[in-house]
């Protein structure tokens, strides 16, 4: 019995050690929630994306979640990223939260909370892959937040979305180019101005090849850029091309959710 207790003590100190040392436990850009702080913290933010998972998560899905959190941390103020680590053994840490939100013992489970009502959350579809792109899409579709990609500029994304409307006439395209140019000229940040230059270049190319629908132009241009990325190019050039790919994502006509997004005051 004594020996058993000693072993248990040993085990728990090891776990304690793991708790403090495990690099995945405290992930950058995410907060950890438990029974005591869950409601208080989730209520403070308009939206919280919560991943219920094992106590020490690791692997591609965890990395996608924390990767998205880091990418969005600076740009999306009203969205909090949180982790709930559930132990189905030992001290059963957070299993009470697991019960409250009916989490099956099959992890991870991701839910989007809003601070109007903590019981009316939206489930991340179980069969959806957990990648940064899919998580981003899920948040885009289920909130009115502006979810930009790295290198994108919110006002320019709105112009790009309007530009991509297939009903635009040629003069309308030209006037949108003028608006984008004005935005470019008024912008203070050097990095934003570099991005704006890419929006402009793309818009001008699209306006001058007007017999090609914009979505076709974007598909072809993406393929071309992805081809260039496979070649031997400098890191600087590579970064430019990734920026270009992100910006091309913004050339999509507004959907209904995006209309809400457009009117958001963020």
Ligand X SMILES: *[C@@H]1O[C@H](CO)[C@@H](O)[C@H](O)[C@H]1NC(C)=O
Question: Bridge-partner residues for 47, per DSSP?
Answer: 79, 114
Residue 108 C-beta: closest distance to ligand X, Å: 25
Residue 114 C-beta: closest distance to ligand X, Å: 8
Find the distance separating the first CA and the last CA of the chain, reported in whole Å: 61
The long-range contacts involving 103-111, CB below 8 angstroms and separated by at least 24 positions, are: 103/52, 107/52, 107/53, 107/54, 107/57, 108/51, 108/52, 108/53, 108/57, 108/61, 108/62, 108/65, 109/51, 109/52, 109/53, 110/49, 110/50, 110/51, 110/52, 110/65, 110/135, 111/49, 111/50, 111/52
* Residue among 73 and 187 whose Cβ is closer to ligand X: 73
Q: Is 219 helix (H, G, I), strand (E, B) or coil?
A: helix
* Residue among 70 and 115 whose Cβ is closer to ligand X: 115
Residue 43 C-beta: closest distance to ligand X, Å: 5
Residue 16 C-beta: closest distance to ligand X, Å: 35
In angstroms, the CA 48 to CA 67 distance is 16
* Residue among 70 and 114 whose Cβ is closer to ligand X: 114
* Residue among 48 and 250 whose Cβ is closer to ligand X: 48
Residues that bind ligand X (CB under 6 A): 43, 45-46, 78, 115
Helices (H), the chain: 2-21, 38-44, 60-73, 95-100, 132-142, 154-163, 170-186, 190-208, 214-230, 235-248, 256-263
* Residue among 78 and 165 whose Cβ is closer to ligand X: 78
* Residue among 115 and 246 whose Cβ is closer to ligand X: 115
Residue 264 C-beta: closest distance to ligand X, Å: 12
Residue 254 C-beta: closest distance to ligand X, Å: 24
């Amino acid at each position: 019995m004594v020996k058993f207790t000693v072993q248990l003590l040993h085990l728990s100190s090891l776990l304690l050690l793991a708790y403090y040392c495990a690099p995945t436990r405290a992930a950058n850009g995410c907060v950890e929630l438990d029974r005591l702080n869950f409601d208080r913290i989730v209520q403070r933010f308009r939206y919280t994306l919560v991943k219920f998972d094992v106590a020490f998560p690791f692997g591609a899905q965890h990395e996608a979640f924390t990767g998205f959190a880091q990418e969005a941390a600076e740009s999306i103020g009203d969205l909090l990223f949180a982790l709930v680590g559930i132990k189905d053994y030992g001290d059963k840490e957070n299993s009470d939260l697991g019960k409250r939100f009916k989490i099956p013992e099959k992890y991870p489970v991701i839910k989007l909370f809003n601070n109007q009502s903590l019981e009316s959350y939206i489930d991340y579809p179980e069969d959806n892959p957990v990648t940064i792109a899919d998580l981003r899409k899920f948040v885009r579709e289920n909130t009115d937040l502006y979810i930009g990609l790295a290198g994108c500029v919110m006002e320019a994304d709105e112009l790009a979305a309007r530009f991509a409307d297939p009903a635009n006439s040629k003069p309308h395209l030209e006037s949108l180019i003028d608006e984008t140019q004005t935005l470019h000229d008024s912008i203070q940040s050097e990095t934003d101005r570099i991005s704006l230059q890419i929006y402009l270049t793309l818009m001008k190319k699209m306006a001058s090849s007007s017999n090609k629908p914009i979505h076709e132009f974007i598909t072809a241009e993406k393929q071309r850029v992805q081809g260039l990325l496979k070649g031997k190019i400098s890191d600087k050039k590579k970064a430019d091309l990734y920026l270009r790919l992100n910006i091309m994502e913004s050339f999509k006509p507004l959907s209904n959710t995006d209309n809400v997004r457009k009117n958001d005051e963020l």
